[in-house]
Structure 1
Amino acid sequence: MLAPVGMAMALIVTAASIYSFSPRHVPPLQETRIPVDRMQLTTIERSKAGLVIAGELGSILVSADEGQSWKPATISHDRQALITRIVFADPARGLALGHEGWILRTEDGGLTWKEVNFDESNGEPLMSARQLPSGDWLAVGAFGRVLRSTDDGRSWQADSLPGLTDWHLNDIASSADGQQWMIVGEAGTALSSSDGGQSWQAIEPFYNGSLYGAAHLGGDRWVAYGMRGNVFFSADRGASWQQAKVPAPISIYGHAVLPDGELLLVGQGGIVLSSRDGGTNLNIVRREGRASLTDIVVTGDGRWMLSSDGGLQVRTPASANQTQNDGAA
């Protein structure tokens, strides 16, 4: 009996070995979904690569299909630092700005990024940047920090502007022709330039709180926005300002100017505000959720792609009258 049993066991072991090493079809792993709808996102822009968003832990994501799917960009250094803003000078060239003076540069619309500045000893964030008509880049950030690049963003040096203190600088914006410029920040800090950023003048304070952004609306008209629903408009290149009528005391963090001149502002409480009169009056056109909206891009089919501290939000436009009526009901 022992011989047949031994032979049977040997055959079993042999068969098991053959099976273990034989080629087998392995089902493909399920594609990992990027939780773009749950991430902290601070900025969204459009480039030749598609839509580009960024935010928590140095994440930069790109969508080539109008937000239907996303893939991570290639970044030369993983710093795990919050990215505060992405800006593009043209469809290919752009910068990503973050904490610790972090600056990344792209030449392919945001698919790949190369680190060009990082300062571990200085943890203050950079908040905004733009390329001036001269070709220089100017970046601004916390505690009045200003950096300049004279080689298309490849290297950076500390710079200063007249009239600045150590208040945070939150945004630098320009007119479409690149001649008018505005810098806004904490404690009502505001500077203007009418010669393409060659010279800057401090604007007499018209608000004592933080201004988070500015938008040029054509001609000599500007809008600046900030804390607790404070929005101001100027019809003389920033020489004088009037306060706009805003229906909700929410902080406003981002904007878009549509081809027909409509101004959209986004902020706390999932609120989107609209103005069709140059920022004089604003109406609530969308109020949804509790997330703070940080930036907005409008797609070709009219959808609003909104970055927020609660992830990417996708909304369809609604008229101010419809939203107000819905709220009254």
Structure 2
Amino acid sequence: MTAHRSPGFFVFLTVLIGCLPLLTSFAQEPRPAVMAGLTTETLLLDAAMVDDRIVVVGERGHVILSDDGGKNWRQAVVPVRATLTAVEFVDQKNGWAVGHDGAIIHSADGGETWTLQNYTPELEQPLLDVMFFNAENGIAIGAYGYYLFTSDGGGTWEETMVDEEWDYHLNAIVEAGDANLYIAAESGSIYRSSDRGKTWQSLDFPYRGSLFGILALGSDRIMTFGLRGHVYESDDGGLSWRQVNTGTERAILGGRVFDDGTIVLVGASGTILIWPPGAHAFELTRHEEGADLVAVMRGSEGGLLLFGESGILTNGDPGE
């Protein structure tokens, strides 16, 4: 572990990956999230756009919504109190969030209300990411090789395996091009599927540290990132990789590609990496608060909304 990370980084990663036994819910029956007044200042782990609405998820089952680009927030009623680690919407209405205790919740109204689809605290396997192709077919992945798929909108979920030899934490999944999927996992493991997740192959990768995220930059162009500031890019669907200089050894925990092509990565100790359209390298900056960051969105004024251990933070125009 690099000394550049903030003291809270170890706790932060533990919450994200779900390795602390103390975080496993003792209650076997799901309890609804508590409606709280300061959810924007609690641990938040992922965000998604639904038209002009931002939907953010985090600890204790918190789901918060903004309809004005992040100026004002309100909390949604959620049927589970488990930490939620990822959220995705496939259209203007249908979205899913996943998290600890194997929790999967679904919204059919753009994030206003949620129903519980899956809850398996006895397995002690948190889910870490979710991806849907349409309102019926989707995949959820998580710790210790946990892999679920559905073909009925989450009404039922079936479990299968990505790697029969290793049960690595499956940290992030992305679709790039027609039917091609990629999973970023621990120990430098990258998996690719060319049939929408029915079968998977392990790709050769030059780094053995954990990878926390992966972005689709084109049909065959992908970027993955993880520990010690490592970022790698492939232009041929993962057959070959080149390391991208970041200028930091802090862990990179999340990122997003915006509509104009800007790539923004965020990470430990307030790390922010921005690659504007037409640029040839990342611009490294750091949020003044120094909090660990794991997700990013654009706000109402074009600046960045940053999500992580301190809740919601703001930053200036990413094009500056």
* Shared fold per TM-score greater than 0.5: yes
Q: Does 1:40 align with 2:43?
A: yes
The farther-off stretch of 188-197 and 57-66 is: 188-197
* Identity between Structure 1 and Structure 2 (%): 30
How many residue pairs align between the two structures?
A: 286
Separation in structure 1 between the aligned mates of residue 134 and residue 53 of structure 2, nearest angstrom: 25
**Retained in 2: the 8 A contact 1:275–1:283?**
yes
Within 5 Å, give how 1:309-328 maps onto structure 2. 309-318=309-318
**Retained in 2: the 8 A contact 1:94–1:105?**
yes
The farther-off stretch of 127-136 and 267-276 is: 127-136
RCO greater where, 1 or 2, for CA within 8 Å and sep 6 or more?
A: 2
Aligned residue identity for 2:257:
V
Q: Are the structure 2 counterparts of residues 72 and 260 from structure 1 closer, same or farther at C-alpha, using a change threshold of 3 Å?
A: closer
TM-score normalised according to structure 1 size: 0.80
Q: Are the structure 2 counterparts of residues 279 and 162 from structure 1 closer, same or farther at C-alpha, using a change threshold of 3 Å?
A: farther
Q: Could you say which residue in structure 2 is the equivalent of 1:98?
A: 99
**Retained in 2: the 8 A contact 1:271–1:288?**
no
Q: Aligned with 2:70: secondary structure? A: coil
Within 5 Å, give how 1:203-222 maps onto structure 2. 203-222=203-222
Q: Does 1:225 align with 2:225?
A: yes
Query: How far does residue 179 in structure 1 lie from its aligned partner after superposition?
Result: 2.8
Q: Could you say which residue in structure 2 is the equivalent of 1:55?
A: 58
Q: Does 1:118 align with 2:119?
A: yes
Query: How far does residue 298 in structure 1 lie from its aligned partner after superposition?
Result: 1.1
**Retained in 1: the 8 A contact 2:136–2:154?**
no
Q: Are the structure 2 counterparts of residues 162 and 279 from structure 1 closer, same or farther at C-alpha, using a change threshold of 3 Å?
A: farther
The farther-off stretch of 128-137 and 304-313 is: 128-137
Query: How far does residue 204 in structure 1 lie from its aligned partner after superposition?
Result: 1.5
Q: Aligned with 1:43: secondary structure? A: strand
Separation in structure 1 between the aligned mates of residue 292 and residue 195 of structure 2, nearest angstrom: 35
Separation in structure 2 between the aligned mates of residue 279 and residue 144 of structure 1, nearest angstrom: 37
CA RMSD of aligned residues (A): 2.3
4+ residue stretches of structure 1 with deviation over 6 A? 277-280
Query: How far does residue 127 in structure 1 lie from its aligned partner after superposition?
Result: 0.4
Larger Cα Rg: Structure 1 or Structure 2? 1
Aligned residue identity for 1:202:
S
Q: Aligned with 2:111: secondary structure? A: coil
Query: How far does residue 207 in structure 1 lie from its aligned partner after superposition?
Result: 1.4
Structure 1: which 5+ runs fail to align? 1-31, 321-329
Q: Could you say which residue in structure 1 is the equivalent of 2:194?
A: 194
Aligned residue identity for 1:130:
M
Q: Could you say which residue in structure 1 is the equivalent of 2:129?
A: 128
Aligned residue identity for 1:232:
Y
Alignment deviations for residues 35-74 of structure 1 (CA, whole Å, 9 cap, x no partner): 2442111111111471111111111111222222222112
Separation in structure 1 between the aligned mates of residue 60 and residue 286 of structure 2, nearest angstrom: 29
**Retained in 1: the 8 A contact 2:90–2:133?**
no
Within 5 Å, give how 1:54-73 maps onto structure 2. 54-73=57-76
Alignment deviations for residues 86-121 of structure 1 (CA, whole Å, 9 cap, x no partner): 111122111111111010011111111100000121
Q: Are the structure 2 counterparts of residues 165 and 83 from structure 1 closer, same or farther at C-alpha, using a change threshold of 3 Å?
A: same
Q: Could you say which residue in structure 2 is the equivalent of 1:179?
A: 179
Q: Are the structure 2 counterparts of residues 48 and 107 from structure 1 closer, same or farther at C-alpha, using a change threshold of 3 Å?
A: farther
Q: Are the structure 2 counterparts of residues 71 and 164 from structure 1 closer, same or farther at C-alpha, using a change threshold of 3 Å?
A: farther
Q: Could you say which residue in structure 1 is the equivalent of 2:236?
A: 236
Q: Are the structure 2 counterparts of residues 257 and 318 from structure 1 closer, same or farther at C-alpha, using a change threshold of 3 Å?
A: closer
Aligned residue identity for 1:127:
L
Q: Aligned with 2:121: secondary structure? A: coil
**Retained in 2: the 8 A contact 1:133–1:196?**
no
Separation in structure 1 between the aligned mates of residue 277 and residue 252 of structure 2, nearest angstrom: 18
Q: Does 1:248 align with 2:251?
A: no
Separation in structure 2 between the aligned mates of residue 304 and residue 294 of structure 1, nearest angstrom: 13
TM-score normalised according to structure 2 size: 0.83
Separation in structure 2 between the aligned mates of residue 260 and residue 49 of structure 1, nearest angstrom: 17
Q: Are the structure 2 counterparts of residues 164 and 113 from structure 1 closer, same or farther at C-alpha, using a change threshold of 3 Å?
A: farther
Q: Could you say which residue in structure 2 is the equivalent of 1:74?
A: 77
Q: Could you say which residue in structure 2 is the equivalent of 1:157?
A: 158
Separation in structure 2 between the aligned mates of residue 41 and residue 243 of structure 1, nearest angstrom: 29
Separation in structure 1 between the aligned mates of residue 278 and residue 217 of structure 2, nearest angstrom: 7
Q: Are the structure 2 counterparts of residues 35 and 134 from structure 1 closer, same or farther at C-alpha, using a change threshold of 3 Å?
A: closer
Query: How far does residue 133 in structure 1 lie from its aligned partner after superposition?
Result: 6.4
Q: Aligned with 1:57: secondary structure? A: helix
Aligned residue identity for 1:295:
A
**Retained in 2: the 8 A contact 1:285–1:318?**
no
Aligned residue identity for 2:306:
L
**Retained in 1: the 8 A contact 2:227–2:250?**
yes
Q: Aligned with 1:143: secondary structure? A: helix
**Retained in 1: the 8 A contact 2:58–2:85?**
yes
